[in-house]
Amino acid sequence: MEKDAYKHSITFLKKYFGYESFRKGQDSIVQSVLKGNDTLGVMPTGGGKSICYQIPALCLPGMTIVISPLISLMKDQIDTLKEKNYPAEMINSTIEYNEQRRIMEYVNSGRVKLLYLTPERFKNENFLLWLKEQNISMFAIDEAHCISEWGHDFRPDYRKINGVITQLGNPQILALTATATKEVRDDIIKVIGMKKPEIIINGFNRENLIYGVEEYPTKEDKNKGLIAFLLKVKKPGIIYTSSVKDANDIYNYLRTNSDLKFSLYHGKLQLKQRTEAQDNFLENKIDVLIATNAFGMGVDKQDIRFVVHYSIPGTIEAYYQETGRAGRDGAISYCLLQYMRRDEEIQNFFIRSKNPSSESIKEVFNYICKYSKDTNFYEDSEITDDDIKVSKFEKAAIIKILHDMNLISIDYLSDEICEIAIKKESVNDKTLFYTLTELVRMAGKNKEIRMNLNTILKRIDMSKFDFISDLNGLVSKKIINYELIPAGRVIKIIEKKIPNDILKEHEKKSAIKLEYDMSKLKSVVDYAELQDNDCRRKYLLNYFGEEFKEQNCGKCDICRKTNKSTSNKPDENDITILFAVYMNDGKFGKMKMGKLLKGSYELEEKYREIEEFGCLSALQIEVIYDKLSKLTRNALLYTNDSKYPTIYISEKGKKFVSLYKSSRP
């Protein structure tokens, strides 16, 4: 039976994809699935993970469900499959109600072999009941690292999948990812409840990728280095930035200083602009795409010749996944990390924002409760830094945490909603009689309406202005109450107070997660600061638990002796910084200390009386910040763990200053 199923899989592979055989990693995973095993497959980015469930789905008797984290990725795959007449469908929030009904009828009749869903769909009890009636052979989870709290792209909804699988009769499970350490793999298996899974790791080594790091003291030097790199390499390529601001700045800089063609892609652009940028890149109408990490997942472009990281990402997993978009056609491609020590501060900020304190959580929650209308808070964007002392990144994380704590629920409204409660069914006013009569008819027995405003206007054939005027007239006569809920994100308050036990549990988990995330960032910095006797490829492979038996790869910048390594040994300016921090121990944060050393007149006048003011005025401010970061990395300085960290000299730093002074003539 297994042999017959495998023969069928090859037939389907030729029919739908035109391939004669599976790739090495695909073959092992497909065979394991066809044997009926729960299977965890780890394949490099661009290794063809989707075929590992698309082909077995055709060989299994029932339907396969595919869980995917991104609707855009889902849509791209469905569009490609439908062009091949493959029996696949998707149901998500972008699909209209009538279209959903049509798809469900197709499923009922057995005409769908592959159904793509987002994990959020399982919150709908009626949908889950319908799904339980179907013959489901396999449950495939794409980007399975999203399940693990230790994964670099954790999604809490993914952790509820185990309960859904149990309700669906425990079909066999296939979990796929490109970036999973042993710790993450073990967590995936445990959380999903995989039974004696076959674990297939198809190697992390991409031999055609040339890894390199260039370190710069200032942003000006970094930008010049980027121009020099772009002149040397083949196109097209991607430049990844850590922030929207950097993406915009680099886009403008390169357009001014280079004759190449560029496009910009990040989450703050309109959908039309993002689509145009992506299409231009895929169709080779531009040379370089400048993007945040919002771009890339599911993008199938084989001939990307380089990937530049303008600053360090937060994890090796993210770095490996993003560089893995280069050279999928097997041709030599370049992966450059542009490194400034100060860039670490950006990721530090992101990590601390993702792991907020209990005080910050209470502050945001109390603000929402205070300014909510009844139990709804319509515009979370109204929570500004002026109102509460949290950044927009921390605020976003807190909203997500409150949702996971079941203290709030979140709705995303694409249109304005009108809620109406009818108190009386008659009115002594001819001008309002028609409107009330129509509302009563629409409300039915429960005397309540919650409907898209445009839908109501169409049904009663009125303009918005006239309709709202009539509603206000009916309110003044105490006939109805109504509320307009604007389009956008709506936060509904479930509980009015955060229980202490939930906060304590958060504090415990947050402390562990913060330490873990910081250790992940340290791994990236360690990679950037590898020395002359190291190898970048070996470091990456060892990180993922894969042994690299060669002494060196012969291809990365270190092995080819093209790296520009910098000495970690402190110089005289570093000693000046250590002494200045010692004299002002814990009084200032890193930014203010840098300005003090530079002698910046941005500081208030009182700081100019401090003896160390301007003692490094000859250095650029970015060089000073770079040195502060280097001294912190070398444990000569440290910052405390407060919300607004200040900088101190360590015992090691004090000893170093003392030794330096005693060695001077």
Looking up residue 221, the CATH number of its domain turns out to be 3.40.50.300
Contact 648, 577 (CB under 8 A): no
Q: Residue 302: what residue type? A: Q
150 within a domain of the structure (yes/no): yes
Burial 148-179 (b: 16+ CB within 10 A, else e): bebbbbbbebbbebbebbeebeebbbbbbbbb
- Minimal CA–CA distance to 484: which of 368, 365, 376, 369? 376
What is residue 418's three-state secondary structure?
A: strand
Residue with tokens 């944060």: 589
Determine phi and psi for 271, rounding to 5 degrees: -55, -40
553 within a domain of the structure (yes/no): no
- The Cα–Cα gap between 366 and 411 comes to 20
- Minimal CA–CA distance to 457: which of 469, 446, 445? 469
- Minimal CA–CA distance to 236: which of 203, 277, 272? 277
Contact 302, 326 (CB under 8 A): no
Q: Residues with Cβ < 8 Å from 163, sequence gap 6 or more? A: none
Using alpha carbons, list the distances in angstroms from residue 69 to 73, 156, 299, 415: 8, 11, 14, 24
Tokens of 27: 């073959």
Q: Where are the alpha helices (DSSP H) in 372-463?
A: 392-404, 430-443, 453-460
Strand partners, 421: 448, 481
Quick one: 116 and 193 in the same domain?
yes
pLDDT at position 559 is: 95
Using alpha carbons, list the distances in angstroms from residue 177 to 79, 120, 459: 22, 20, 49
Using alpha carbons, list the distances in angstroms from residue 554 to 534, 535, 561: 11, 9, 9
* Residue 606, domain extent: 572-663
Quick one: 61 and 149 in the same domain?
yes
- The Cα–Cα gap between 264 and 248 comes to 7
The CATH number of the domain where 636 resides is what?
1.10.10.10
Which stretches in the chain have pLDDT values below 50? Answer: 1
583 within a domain of the structure (yes/no): yes
129 within a domain of the structure (yes/no): yes
Contacts by 537-540, CB closer than 8 A, 24 or more apart: 537/205, 537/211, 540/204, 540/211, 540/316, 540/320
Quick one: 69 and 187 in the same domain?
yes
Quick one: 279 and 374 in the same domain?
no
Omega before 356 within 30 of 0, i.e. cis? no
Half-sphere exposure of 396 (CA within 13 A, CB side): 8
How confident is the model over 463-520, as pLDDT tens digits?
Answer: 998 999 999 999 999 999 998 877 777 788 888 899 999 999 999 989 999 999 999 9
Of the residues 171, 201, 231, the one at which a domain ends: 201
pLDDT at position 1 is: 46
555 within a domain of the structure (yes/no): no
- The Cα–Cα gap between 352 and 397 comes to 10
Quick one: 196 and 239 in the same domain?
no
Quick one: 92 and 151 in the same domain?
yes
Q: At what angle do helices 621-633 and 343-354 cross, to 10 degrees?
A: 60
Quick one: 300 and 446 in the same domain?
no
Strand partners, 327: none
Quick one: 382 and 334 in the same domain?
no
Determine phi and psi for 657, rounding to 5 degrees: -60, -45
Q: How many domains does the chain have?
A: 5
Kind of pairing, strands 417-422 and 480-485? Answer: antiparallel
Please give the distance of CA 619 from its chain centroid, rounded to a whole number. Answer: 37
Quick one: 306 and 358 in the same domain?
no
Element (H, E) at 88: strand 88-91
Of the residues 174, 201, 228, the one at which a domain ends: 201
Using alpha carbons, list the distances in angstroms from residue 160 to 114, 135, 166, 191, 195: 21, 21, 11, 9, 17
405 within a domain of the structure (yes/no): no
72 within a domain of the structure (yes/no): yes
Quick one: 38 and 149 in the same domain?
yes
Of the residues 201, 232, 256, the one at which a domain ends: 201
Quick one: 11 and 141 in the same domain?
yes
Determine phi and psi for 656, rounding to 5 degrees: -65, -45
Quick one: 230 and 191 in the same domain?
no
Determine phi and psi for 360, rounding to 5 degrees: -65, -40
Mean residue pLDDT of the chain comes to: 89
523 within a domain of the structure (yes/no): no
